[in-house]
Structure 1
Amino acid sequence: MEELKKLPFFSSVTIPKPILNQETSVAVSLHPADQLLRKKCFQCHLDSPPVKGQYRSQGCAACHFEYSSKGLYEGKDPTISTTEPGHARFHKIRTIPSRSTCVQCHRAFSLQTLSIEGHEELEAPKQIEPTNQIETPATVSTPEVIKSNLVNGTKQFPLFAGKGQVIKDVHTARGMDCTDCHTLFDIMGDGNIYSKQHESVEVRCETCHGDALTYPSISQITQANDSAIRVSKYYKGSSNKVDDWMAVSAHNRKMSNVKVQNGRIVAIGKQTGKVHEVPLVKDYLDAHSIPQHQTRLECSACHARWVVQCPGCHQSIGPDPAPAPESHFFDIGEPALMIGPRGKVTPMLMQPERHLTVTDERANEIPILGRKGNKIGYYREWAFTNPHGTSGSNLAYALNPHSIQKQARSCTSCHLSPETLGLGTGDIKIGKNSTGKNDFIDTLDRTDKILKASQFDPQAKVSIRGESIAGTDQPKARTFNQEEIIRILRVGNCIPCHDRYNDPVYQDIDQSYAFARTVDHRRLRQKILSLGQPLE
């Protein structure tokens, strides 16, 4: 690269007056991506000032200086104004950032009520079935919303009416902070270059909880200069010492706050000092005994209970320099699933299709009119594909939505749900051919959401034949293929009778399928079904 050029502006009307007054030549691209980068992406991903009405610093201080919602100084330094917005709460660097700092960028997590300090004692939620709260369809045409408000000192984002409050992640409900799981190497790097941000995250569910076959990996501190000792000196409560046994992360580093105490694995709050005894998966084999689940599923595939869905547009672009008022409504629902970057089934972030189509009834382009009614241009549709040749506007991402519950989702929500498989909303019609060649999905007629003729549901990410509709930029991540779709749906035939995780039929599913084809099974099934019939 010979020259690093400045990012161009979208159009001449979007150039701020101070820049026009200072610079003689300002580049204009007329591409909406440049508008999106400036107005949205760079608010989190680069050293840039926050949007108007929000307060944070830049660079390292963006995390290690804390700001109040009003941006006012609350300390006792007489040289710092307490009435001028834009100052940190205190003229002091925080060693460990608070959760209120994290959610400035990781905003979906702020749907769970947090205090400004993030350390309030929260009552553990009752383990209830949350589907009635999170699966009510949103009214799309004219949505009533819960307006943004302050809950426990934290600004909440608007949800569609009828959604209520989201169920807190089990870790949040017990008073744990973001930094109690995520390490300094997650955030600030470990000296390696990763092509994707998720690759740098070293904590896994298995780091603390183990899996169905093994307990968490642990390693003993043998040197006084071990980093697990050094960083723990900044934690509230006792610090680590030589001979302590620490849990080991996925990157083979010792965790600094997850250790063995009195023969049990505990996680210690870095900012609270609270000791949380960690339940171990191997001690609960009844719920984790299905062999296929052990090898093919991420923990979050079953235990993540909701994910954010954004049905509206993220960026409004108008012809006038004055920005139009924006309201971005969140929807929440049980996650759809896909294959994640690590090759296991994981929750999916179902991004809506990106589009810009403004035409009249004859498909003629509608001109853009200025305030005085003068024509200043035309709208354009920006269609694009990603490097893999799949859609760059219909997107699907694997993620952990941080909505973990002790009670896992139901078997039917995966094995009998087209939405969970990424097929969209509709009824699955199974053909006579066992290969699935003649299977199809009869989608619901939702013309208010379908903007162009399509055989697929607007939320579909994959066809029933396993043909990917959505694109993703995560290496090795993909939607389900046809073989996987058939295999998942086939289990749904067994669930009406075998609805327990520890049912022995799931220990050898091939043997169970073989028995299902026998006369003995047919007679047994007929006997069971006849028990529910009225006597003549």
Structure 2
Amino acid sequence: RIGISYTGIFESEGYGTPYEKGHLSSLRLPGNRFYLKIAEDIHHKKKMACIDCHTREEVMGNGTSYAHYEEQLEIGCTVCHSEKPGLTRKGNKLTNVKKEQGRYFLVGRNNDQHYPLKPPGKTSCRYPGHRRLSCESCHSSWVPQCYGCHAKRDKRETHLDKLTLKETKGWWEEGRSYIRYEKPMLAVWGKKVVIVTPGCQDVVTLIDEKGKIEGGFNRFTMAAINPHTTQAKGRDCADCHSSSKTLGLGEGTVLKKDGKWAFIPIDQGVDTLNGRTVGFDNFVTIDGKALQHGSRKDLRPFNGEELHRILRVGLCLRCHKTYDDPVYTNYDPKKKCPVYKEP
């Protein structure tokens, strides 16, 4: 969905809302799929095309078969937004980055427009407490989130095998629980904080030739993504430090009582053959126990210490609203506030 997200389009549920004079929405994609118009990526707003950033080797390949998409990628935000832009992650030079009169520009491949390249802000982007944040974790305003992939295989019927073009035993049906776009969830990939979204949250039911359930399984996975919904202004402090959804806990209520954190989720999961699942948007418990898999070995939710440290800053935001507040200089998470008594 990155392509349509870049243009500010979110494929919505099939309800056809918001209604137009009592009728279903007229905003539809091919296949009669409803959509909502949300914030477009700042680069799309500036009339930039995909090939203005992404290289020939990324799009067409360089002769190597990669196991994962990120291994083929060369472009990241800092390739352009740095003090000396123009060199990809793999050391290749971007041919459309030019230096003219002491300033760097990216030249549009389709429109020949010159886009001035600016390094990250010296304050918020380089704040010590944000050193692990990827650019997109703060500057992406939304991400498509499809929760709950319900798949059923019924051996009483057949299905067309798209590779052999032959009818084969077993009819497959697929549905979902719900979709969202707001409050992109954060997690840790290696040494960086990134955005994650449901990869596959499979609830699979298997039906035999007699119509009886013969088995099934559940497996929930979160996957890292750069949603390509970049905005010039980053998310505010409360979007992370006071949002249970952003932190991977899911929608719900965070409490602190007698010095201990607690969380009450809204999504309570669904009943399946293998018991009740976790909530679809619950990636981690308040104590840092992972509830779902990561799509890579080193992709994980925040651990307990990280969660508690992030949430504690959220308690400070009522009085100390910005990162440049003196209280956050040499911030010590163990230091007690002289004014506010923590629960």
Same fold (TM over 0.5): yes
1:285 equivalent in alignment to 2:119: no
- CA distance in structure 2 between the partners assigned to 1:471 and 1:496 by the alignment: 34
2:166 corresponds to which residue?
Answer: none
- CA distance in structure 2 between the partners assigned to 1:467 and 1:269 by the alignment: 46
1:491 equivalent in alignment to 2:313: yes
Q: By how many angstroms is 1:320 displaced?
A: 3.7
Counterpart of 1:309 (choices 118, 140, 145) is 145
Change (3 A) 1:198 1:208: same
Q: By how many angstroms is 1:191 displaced?
A: 4.7
SS in 2 for 1:292: helix
Q: By how many angstroms is 1:168 displaced?
A: 0.4
Counterpart of 1:348 (choices 183, 193, 196) is 196
Q: Is the 8 A contact 2:284 2:302 kept in 1?
A: yes
Change (3 A) 1:108 1:443: same
Offset from partner CA, 1:123-144 (integer Å, 9 cap, x none) = xxxxxxxxxx99xxx98xx944
Q: Is the 8 A contact 2:185 2:195 kept in 1?
A: yes
Counterpart of 2:271 (choices 440, 451, 457) is 451
1:467 corresponds to which residue?
Answer: 289
Change (3 A) 1:395 1:495: same
Alignment map for 1:9-408 (pairs within 5 Å): 107-113=1-7, 143-145=15-17, 155=30, 158-159=33-34, 164-192=36-64, 194-210=66-82, 215-217=83-85, 247-281=86-120, 284-293=121-130, 295-311=131-147, 313=149, 317=153, 319-321=156-158, 331-341=180-190, 343-351=191-199, 353-357=201-205, 376-383=210-217, 393-408=219-234
Q: Is the 8 A contact 2:52 2:109 kept in 1?
A: yes
Q: Is the 8 A contact 1:301 1:346 kept in 2?
A: yes
Q: By how many angstroms is 1:196 displaced?
A: 1.7
Q: By how many angstroms is 1:148 displaced?
A: 9.3
Q: By how many angstroms is 1:188 displaced?
A: 3.1
Change (3 A) 1:490 1:381: farther
Q: Is the 8 A contact 1:267 1:278 kept in 2?
A: yes
Offset from partner CA, 1:1-21 (integer Å, 9 cap, x none) = xxxxxxxxxxxxxxxxxxxxx
> What amino acid sits opposite 1:451 in the alignment?
D
Q: Is the 8 A contact 2:140 2:231 kept in 1?
A: yes
Offset from partner CA, 1:268-311 (integer Å, 9 cap, x none) = 11122121112221xx3233242121x21001111011110123
- CA distance in structure 2 between the partners assigned to 1:251 and 1:349 by the alignment: 27
- CA distance in structure 2 between the partners assigned to 1:185 and 1:326 by the alignment: 35
Q: By how many angstroms is 1:355 displaced?
A: 0.5
- CA distance in structure 2 between the partners assigned to 1:145 and 1:326 by the alignment: 22
- CA distance in structure 1 between the partners assigned to 2:37 and 2:305 by the alignment: 38
How much is the aligned-residue C-alpha RMSD, in angstroms?
3.5
Q: Is the 8 A contact 2:151 2:173 kept in 1?
A: no
SS in 2 for 1:419: coil
- CA distance in structure 1 between the partners assigned to 2:228 and 2:118 by the alignment: 18
Q: Is the 8 A contact 2:186 2:196 kept in 1?
A: yes
Q: Is the 8 A contact 2:189 2:299 kept in 1?
A: yes
Change (3 A) 1:335 1:377: same
- CA distance in structure 2 between the partners assigned to 1:340 and 1:249 by the alignment: 20
SS in 1 for 2:96: strand
- CA distance in structure 2 between the partners assigned to 1:482 and 1:314 by the alignment: 31
- CA distance in structure 2 between the partners assigned to 1:309 and 1:248 by the alignment: 32
- CA distance in structure 2 between the partners assigned to 1:259 and 1:208 by the alignment: 11
SS in 2 for 1:337: strand
Q: Is the 8 A contact 1:424 1:456 kept in 2?
A: no
Q: Is the 8 A contact 1:355 1:381 kept in 2?
A: no
- CA distance in structure 1 between the partners assigned to 2:89 and 2:284 by the alignment: 31
Give the count of matched residue pairs. Answer: 320
- CA distance in structure 1 between the partners assigned to 2:233 and 2:212 by the alignment: 52
Aligned-pair identity in percent equals 28
SS in 2 for 1:203: coil
Q: By how many angstroms is 1:398 displaced?
A: 1.2
1:501 equivalent in alignment to 2:323: yes
> What amino acid sits opposite 1:196 in the alignment?
H
Offset from partner CA, 1:401-428 (integer Å, 9 cap, x none) = 0000011112111101111111112112
Change (3 A) 1:346 1:196: same
Change (3 A) 1:330 1:256: farther
Structure (1/2) with the larger helix percentage: 1
- CA distance in structure 2 between the partners assigned to 1:312 and 1:156 by the alignment: 22
2:301 corresponds to which residue?
Answer: 479
TM-score by length of 1: 0.53
Change (3 A) 1:493 1:150: closer
Q: Is the 8 A contact 2:142 2:227 kept in 1?
A: yes
Change (3 A) 1:192 1:432: farther
SS in 2 for 1:248: coil
1:414 corresponds to which residue?
Answer: 240
Change (3 A) 1:485 1:156: farther
Higher alpha-carbon deviation: 314-323 or 183-192? 314-323
Q: Which has the larger radius of gyration?
A: 1
Q: Is the 8 A contact 1:148 1:156 kept in 2?
A: no
- CA distance in structure 2 between the partners assigned to 1:248 and 1:296 by the alignment: 22
